[in-house]
Amino acid sequence: MSILLFCERSSTRLQYICKFIFGEQLSNNCSITIDAENFEKHDGPKINYSTRSFADNSLQIIPQGLLLETGIRAQQIDCEEGTGNKYFFKTGGHYPYDILSGCFYLISRYEEYLPYTEDDYGRYAHTNSIAFKKDFLKIPLVNFWIQDFVKILQYHYPVLKFTTPAFAFHPTYDIDIAYAYLYKGLIRNLGGFLLSPSLGRLKVLSGFKGDPYDVYDYLDDLHEKHGLKPRYFYLVAESNGLYDKNIPPANPAMQHLLKKQSEKYEIGLHPSWASYHNEEIVQAEKEVLSKLINKRVVFSRQHYIRFSLPKSFEILESAGITDDYSMGYGSINGFRASVASPYPWYNLEKEKISKLRIHPFCFMDANSFFEQHYTAGEALQELIYYKDQCKKANARLTTIFHNNILGYDSRFEGWRTMYSRFISQLL
C-alpha cells in the first residue's frame, strides 16, 4: 500500500529523499501532492509534511526547511538523543525531528559543499564532519533512523507493510602495487635496494621466494570456498610518482594479471592521484583498463580516497562510470555519509539527481594499520564491530583490503590470518 505525502510545495530534494527512503529502503511507493483537498480525501496511509493542520490528525512531520531550499548555506546542527539514536533538525508534529531533511543532509554530503579544512592529502578532513564532532561516525545513523521511522509509520497505519533490505557482505580490493619486487625492472629494483637493502628482494628476484604482494591465488581460494563475489579496483596510471606506484599497464605481467582477474571478477578503475579534478586522466585510464580486460569499465574508487564534491563525481559521470565506491574516509574508519546502503548521488550544485550510484564503505585495512595504528587483533575486533552494526541496520558491509597488507611482508604479519578468520566467522 503506497503512502501519500502532502507538502506546501514540492522540490527535487524532497522527491530524491522520498525515493531513497520509501522506494529503495522500504520497497514502498510514496507519492507527493501539494493538493490539500486531495490529501484530506485520501483514505490510505499519509504523511503531512507541512505546518498545516488537518482534521484527520494524519502523521505530521514539520519541515525544517532544507528540502524546500535551493543553494547551499551553513545549517544549524544541534544534536539531541531520543529512541536510542542521536538526531538533529528538531521540529514539531508527531515526530521529534525532520527525518527527511536529516537523511538528505547526511547522504548528500551537504557539509562537504561548504568551506572546509583540507587534510594533508587535499581531502575533506573527517574532523570537519558533524558525524565525527557529535560522535556518530561509527554507526549507520540514517539506516537506524529509517528503522525507527518504520515503527512510527506502522503504529499510525498498521496496514502498512515494508520489505527492508537484508544484510550483505561485499568485499573489495584496491590493487595499488600489484607486486613488491617482480616486474619492476632493473632501475626501480636497484633504486629500491639502495634505499632499503633487503635479502628478501634478492630471493624474490632470483626465484627462491614468492613475491610478498602476490596473494591472488590465496584470495581466489578464499572467495571460492565461501562463495564470495568481490570487486577489484586497479591503478593503471601510465607513469609512476610519489603516490602512483603500480606496475605500468604496458607491462606484460600486469596485462596477464588483469586478464586473469577479469575472467573471474568484476574489475573497476582506481583513478590515480591527480585524477580527482582531471577528466582527461580519468577517461584515459578508463580506456586503458577497458582495453586490457576487453570489457566496459563502469565501477570506480578514487586512489587515496581523494575526491571533492561535486567536481570528482561529475568527472566520473562524464567518463561513463555508473557506480563509485569512494564514500568513506582515507583517514579513519566509519560511515562518512552515515549510511551503509548504496544510494544515488545528488548533485547539490545543480540540484539534480544523478545516475551515479554511491556504494559506501566503513572499513579499510590501511586506515586501521597506518592511521589508527591497530594490530591485526584490534583490526579484527573493529571489523566485527562494523559487521554487527551493518547487520543491526539490515544493510551492506563493504570493506577495502589491499593485496600488500594481506601479503607476506613482515610489517603486516598476522593480517592475512585475521582476514581469513573474519571471513570464516562471518560466513
Using alpha carbons, select from 307, 311, 323 the residue that is nearest to residue 349.
Answer: 311
With b for 16 or more beta-carbon neighbours within 10 A and e for fewer, the 134-170 pattern comes to eebbbbbbbbbbbbbbbebbeeebeebeeeebeeebb
Q: Is 163 contained in some domain?
A: no
Question: How far apart are alpha carbons 46 and 22 in whole angstroms?
Answer: 12
Nearest-angstrom CA–CA distance, 16 and 153: 20
Task: Decide if 201 is inside a domain.
Answer: no
Q: Assess whether 242 and 357 both reside in one domain.
A: yes
**Who's near 93: CB < 8 A, 6+ residues apart?**
48, 60, 61, 62
Identify the pLDDT of residue 191: 46
Which cell goes with 314? 561529475
β-partners of residue 171 are: 399
Is the same domain home to 25 and 140?
Answer: yes
Which amino acid type is present at position 355?
K
DSSP labels, 249-272: TTSHHHHHHHHHHHTTSEEEE---
Cα(361)–Cα(370) distance, rounded to whole angstroms? 17
- Tell me: do 152 and 221 sit in the same domain: no
Q: Are residues 302 and 338 in the same domain?
A: yes
User: What pLDDT, on the 0 to 100 scale, is given for residue 194?
Assistant: 45
Q: How many domains is the chain partitioned into structurally? A: 2
Between CA 141 and CA 108, with CA 303 as vertex, the angle to 5 degrees is 30
Q: Could you give phi then psi for residue 345, rounded to 5 degrees?
A: -75, 140
pLDDT of residue 201: 65
63 occurs within a structural domain: yes
- Burial letters for 264-279: b for 16+ Cβ neighbours within 10 Å, e otherwise? ebbbbbbbbbebbeeb
Shared domain check, 90 and 68: yes
- Looking at the fold, whether 109 and 174 belong to one and the same domain comes out as no
Residue 286 covered by a domain: yes
Looking at the structure, do residues 269 and 294 belong to the same domain, yes or no? yes
Q: What does the alpha-carbon distance between residue 422 and residue 427 come to, in Å, rounded to a whole number?
A: 9
Q: Is residue 200 domain-resident?
A: no
CA distance 58 to 38: 13
Residue 196 lies in a domain: no
Query: Does residue 263 lie in a domain region?
Result: yes
Return d(Cα 103, Cα 238) in angstroms, integer.
40
Walking along the chain (427 residues) 10 residues at a time, the average pLDDT comes out as 94 98 96 97 95 91 97 96 90 93 98 96 98 98 97 94 95 97 66 55 78 97 97 94 93 96 98 97 98 98 98 98 98 98 98 98 98 98 98 98 96 97 94
Let me know whether 172 and 39 are in one domain.
no
Task: Write the DSSP symbol of residue 124.
Answer: B
Query: What span, in angstroms and rounded, lies between the C-alpha atoms of 219 and 300?
Result: 20
Q: What are the DSSP E strand ranges found in 197-279? A: 231-234, 266-269
Determine the Cα–Cα distance for residues 97 and 50; give it in Å rounded to an integer. Answer: 13
367: number of Cβ within 10 Å: 24
Flag whether 187 is in a domain. no
Separation CA 1–CA 139 (nearest Å): 30
Q: What is the dihedral of CA 273, 276, 279, 284, to 10 degrees?
A: 30
The number of CA neighbours under 13 Å toward the Cβ of 98 is 24
- The residue behind cell 597488507 is 405
- What's the predicted TM-score (pTM) here? 0.96
On whether both 147 and 172 belong to a single domain, the answer is: no
**Do 269 and 125 share a structural domain?**
no
Based on the domain organization, do 250 and 271 belong to the same domain? yes
DSSP conformation class of 49: -
375: containing domain: 168-178+213-426
Are 227 and 132 in a shared domain?
Answer: no
Q: Which residue has the cell 577528466?
A: 279
